[in-house]
Amino acid sequence: MSEKIRVITEDQYKEYMKLKKQFVDSTKNVRWKPKEGEPYWHIYDDGTIDYDFWTSENDILLGRYKLGNCFETEGEAQKELDRRIAERKLLDMMDAKMSDDGDKFYIEYDPRGEVFYPNQTVYRFATPILFSSAEYCNEVIGVIGEEKLKLIFRID
């Protein structure tokens, strides 16, 4: 069996590596941890955003940190709350009755054109959020909207 090799130019390779680095950098999720006595923002279960002062002696505060619920600014906390709400809406729109043997589609992002589009997978568990058709996937993209999808995909 012979494999086809695609030859690309050095400029194409550099562009690919640049896009790959941007993607990897955008998916890094470094948790910020406040210093002792420092103020930080967090999200309550009901979606209320509030601040507190950090102490490593408090199990509730340590739990917030473990769950990624410590933010340096109120704006960062609001952005995370918006992301969580959008992600929940996306999960709610996932096809509940999709069969294991049918076609499956997921939302993909192309950083070159900054567009979201449906992509097909043959693997049932390629991504946790799958849809039964490209048409429905496009409908979901329209309902959620690009700005909310960028939050979910952590694209700044």
Write the pLDDT tens digit of every residue in 42-94.
Answer: 999 999 999 999 999 999 999 999 999 999 999 999 999 999 999 999 989 98
DSSP string, 59-97: HHHHHHHHTT--BSSHHHHHHHHHHHHHHHHHHHHS-TT
Pairing of strands 104-110, 115-121: antiparallel
Name every residue whose Cβ is closer than 8 Å to that of residue 53 and which is 6 or more positions away in sequence. Answer: 37, 38, 39, 40
Diameter of the chain measured on Cα atoms: 65
- Give the whole-angstrom CA distance, residue 94 versus residue 107: 11
Which two structure tokens, joined as six digits, stand for 102? Answer: 């049918």
- Across residues 25-38, what is the average pLDDT? 79
Cβ pair 25, 44 in contact under 8 A? no
pTM of the complete model: 0.73
Sorted by where each begins, the domain ranges of the chain are 29-72, 89-152
Q: Is the pLDDT of residue 28 over 70?
A: no
In this structure, the dihedral spanned by the alpha carbons of residues 135, 137, 141 and 143, taken in order and rounded to 10 degrees, is 80
